[in-house]
Amino acid sequence: MNIKEIIIDSIKYPFLDWKKILILGLIVVICQFPLDIISPFNLHYGLTYPFLVIALLINCFIIGYFFKIIQYSLKDTRELPKFRKWVNLFKNGFKVTCVSFIYSIPVTLPLIILNSDLFNFYSYTPGFIIIIMGEILLAYLHWDVIWVSIQFFVYILYFLILFPISLMAIANMANNGGKLRYAFEFKVIFDKIKNIGWIKFYSWYLLTGVINLLIFLIGVLIGFILILVHTFPFEKLIAPLILTPYIYIFFSRSIALIYQSDNTI
């Protein structure tokens, strides 16, 4: 399939079964609920982590369904998978989460190390010295610019290199019975991308990113309109209940199709 066929197929795919979009949307809403509970009070008294853990565990079901769509699509199954075998959904979602985390380590680890050094420096520096001594203040501002620049460079590195490769790693794992080790067959993964064609691969990646952004903007616009007509709380549910699951289904379908596509554009 060429890029146009992949995108058109993936856009149409979620509409095959609205019921499954809503079921996935309901799980997204449930996952969002623990995050909504987090308040300044919880942050102050260190009660944030239990809610984050709960949200992460629920999110494994969402990612598990995302993974199941990839598996179904790689088997040329046209229909959306059913919500069943919840234990397997959770296990696969957890494995995908682990794979994504491991692929993000080259980005997150340097940021954690640099941020820790910065924190240690300022935690042992009296605040009044920074305020009084202009040179130290300028040094701080200079470091702040450098820190933002480093973060920007690292995030660009992640989203342009590591993240798209991790998507092919997840697809490769899905294509091999969900076995974790296949997500780290780097030679096979890079050979697959080479066979697809690097230009085609990144054209697909950027185009799907633009489509996801457009869907997000549509959601913002719809939410704004609903606020104007006083339909609370529907404006808060439109994104997690419909748009977010649509993006998940669209994106997972397109990952499977680009993975099994040849090198024609």
Residues sharing a CB contact under 8 Å with residue 241, sequence separation 6 or more, in sequence order: 22, 25, 26, 28, 29
CA dihedral of 11, 190, 195, 163, whole degrees rounded to 10: 20
23 falls within a domain: yes
- Which backbone phi and psi does 157 adopt, to 5 degrees? -60, -40
What pLDDT sits at residue 35?
66
**Cα–Cα distance, 181 to 212 (Å, whole number):** 29
Q: Is residue 197 part of a domain?
A: yes
∠ CA 262-193-104, rounded to 5°:
145
Residue partners of 172: CB distance under 8 A and separation at least 6: 182, 183, 185, 188, 189, 192, 259
- Residue 168, in any domain of the structure: yes
CA–CA separation, 83 vs 77, rounded Å? 15
How much is the pLDDT for 116? 52
Q: Hunting for tokens 């660009």 — which residue is that?
A: 156
Does residue 180 sit within a domain?
yes
**To 5 degrees, how large is the angle CA 124–CA 126–CA 127?**
125
| Measured CA angle at 109 (ends 35, 96), to 5 deg | 55
pLDDT at 123: 39
Is 243 strand, coil or helix?
A: helix
Q: What is the pLDDT along the chain (265 residues), one digit of tens a residue?
A: 899 999 999 999 999 999 999 999 999 988 887 666 655 545 544 556 677 788 889 999 999 999 999 999 999 888 899 998 899 999 999 999 999 999 988 887 776 666 654 444 443 444 433 333 444 444 555 555 666 677 777 778 888 888 999 999 999 999 999 999 999 999 999 999 999 999 999 999 999 999 998 988 887 787 777 777 665 665 567 778 888 899 999 999 999 999 998 754 4
The range of the structural domain enclosing residue 251 comes to 3-259
Q: Kindly tell me the sign of the dihedral angle through the C-alpha atoms of 182, 185, 188, 194.
A: positive
How many residues in total does the chain contain? 265
Position 31, amino acid: C
Sign of CA dihedral 194, 195, 200, 203: negative
Q: What is the CA radius of gyration of the chain?
A: 22
Q: Is residue 264 part of a domain?
A: no
How many domains is the chain built from?
Answer: 1
- Position 243 in a domain: yes
**Within its chain, how far is the Cα of 131 from the centroid?**
40
Q: Is the residue at 265 inside a domain?
A: no
The CA distance from 246 to 219, in Å, is 11
